[in-house]
Structures are given as C-alpha cells and as structure tokens.
Amino acid sequence: MRNTMLWTIAVLSLAATHSAYAGDCTAAHKLFETGKQAGQRQQWAEARRALEKSVAECNRFDNWYLLGQTQLQLEDYNAASASFEDARRFAQSNDEKALAGARYAQVMAQQGKIDEPLAILHQARKAHTHPPAWMTELAMSLDKKRVNQPVTVAQLTRALTSRSVTLISPNAKPSVNITINFKYNSTEVTENSTANIDVLAEALAGDALYKGPVQLTGHTDARGETQYNKTLSEQRAQTIAAALIARKPELKSRLHIAGKGASEPLYPGESEDIFALNRRIEVTLE
C-alpha cells in the first residue's frame, strides 16, 4: 500500500511536469496514459507492457520514470534501476534529475541497503527546489535504521564512491553523515561511538578512496544560541579529526574541519529523534 501511494503521487507530479509533446511522441503519450491508468488500477503487468512500448517510441523523462515506478512495484529491481538511470539521462531539469536519483536510491533501500542510498537521497534533497515529502520520509526512515546498526568500512566506502551522487549534480561532492554521539554540552565522545570512529578511520585510509582532502563538518541540533552551537560544532569536528589522526596518522594533512551549528538540519521537527539525527559529523571528499 505504501509503494502504491508513492506511485500515485508520482503520477500526479508527472501530470504537471509537461503539457506539450513532440509530434513523434504522440503515440508514446497515448501508451503512457494507458500505463498510468493501469497503474492506478494496480494492474502492474499491464502498466509495464504499455510503458515499455512508450519508452520504445519516445525517450522522455516521464515515460522512463513511470516505467521505473511500475518495475519497482513488481520488485524487478534491476530493471527499475536501469529505468531510473534512463529517466535521469532524459531529465530536462535539476528537479527531474533529483527525482530520478532519489528513486534509484529507493530501489537500493528496498534491497536492504542503507548508507549508499542515504548519500544519494541527501544529495537529491539538496538539488531539488522543493523536495517532495516521500523523499524526506524515505531518508529519515533509513537514517533511523542506521542508528541501530553498526557501520562497516565497506558501507562507508560505497557511500563515498557512489557515482549516482554526481549523476544528480556533476559538481556534487560525495559525502556521508556519521552518527557520533557526544556527552551533553561537551566535546567528549560517548563510549558507544568509538566504533564508528574506528570504522571511519579505516575507510578514509583505505586504498578504495581517493587520497585527497576530507572535510569534517560538525552539526548540532536547534537548541541553544546560534554562535554557541557553531563554536561547539567546530570543536566537535576538531575532536573527531584528532581521534582519526590518533588512529591513522597519515590522515593528518588531509583533514579539514568546519562547524555549521544548527544552520543545516537534515530534517525538520523538534522531537528527540530528530534532534539526534541532526547532531552529526558530515564527511565530504573534497
């Protein structure tokens, strides 16, 4: 039911995207409408047949995007990934590229992945003029899952090398948010966060990542004064940099720090869960 709702929302969004069709895409538009109506009836196999014919007739973002949505409903993940990649290729705006990238991330999320789709979703939300609610809800659900799961070197490496981030925006820099908890009003890391620092050090020093500059950006939640939060976030980023260098001295010349305070929250809201997600260290490969 959840995915069906998202498919319906996608249809409504696409209906407002383009009102004019090139002459050679007239037949494709009729097939698109047939596929859309079949999807609204949850007749996914029929929708897929019509939309596959539609993309064969005309390479338009809408055709590929809705085909990907249908394949996702049918749990044909390889086909859905390919369709969303094609949707991105034929996108006419940054918003469309962001939508295609976010749906590509959704495919990975439904296959049980967390860190790589999260990296893509956060970039998609930055690139989209007005990120739709489903994009934020999906990112938040993955972030909440990640809090309760150990991070691995392989996961961080995949997130920091995902080419899908640059497909959304060619100038995008790969980044990942690491959950590292500090004692209240302090720069001292809690004991249960030391494992994530160990993993981050291994990933950044590993052979799979580009050996260039790394930005560590501290973020706080919205509580507290603006300047105090900015200073605290910088100090926390410095604490993590020192901890990483202690584990891997070769990282010393590569690490740069910054503090954003509460100016760039991941999610809106004032619950304890949201505050916890917004308190983070963002790692960016420069």
- Kindly report, residue by residue over 7-16, the tens digit of the pLDDT: 555 655 564 4
Give the integer Cα–Cα distance in Å for 286 and 185: 29
Give the integer Cα–Cα distance in Å for 25 and 125: 30
State whether residue 282 is helix, strand or coil.
strand
> Tokens 């209906």 sit at which residue?
15
Give the integer Cα–Cα distance in Å for 200 and 266: 20
1 band by pLDDT with thresholds 50, 70 and 90: low
Tokens encoding 23: 């002459």
Pick from 52-56, 78-82, 193-197: least confident: 193-197
5 band by pLDDT with thresholds 50, 70 and 90: low
Per-residue pLDDT tens digits for 130-160: 999 999 999 999 998 887 777 889 988 988 8
Average pLDDT rounded to a whole number, residues 50-57? 94
Residue 9's pLDDT is 54
Average pLDDT rounded to a whole number, residues 175-193? 82
Q: Given a cut of 80, is residue 56 above it in pLDDT?
A: yes
State whether residue 267 is helix, strand or coil.
coil
Average pLDDT rounded to a whole number, residues 41-51? 96
Residue 117's pLDDT is 93
2 band by pLDDT with thresholds 50, 70 and 90: low
Q: Given a cut of 50, is residue 52 above it in pLDDT?
A: yes
Per-residue pLDDT tens digits for 85-106: 999 999 999 999 999 999 999 9
CA-angle at 192, arms to 191 and 193, nearest 5°: 90
Q: Given a cut of 50, is residue 231 above it in pLDDT?
A: yes
**What global pTM score does this model have?**
0.85
What is the residue-averaged pLDDT of the chain? 88
Residue 22's pLDDT is 47
Q: Which of 183, 163, 184 is nearest to 172 (CA)?
A: 163
Tokens encoding 185: 């009003």
Give the contacts of 141 (CB within 8 A, at least 6 positions apart).
none
Give the integer Cα–Cα distance in Å for 219 and 241: 14
State whether residue 114 is helix, strand or coil.
coil
Q: Which of 226, 202, 222 is nearest to 283 (CA)?
A: 202
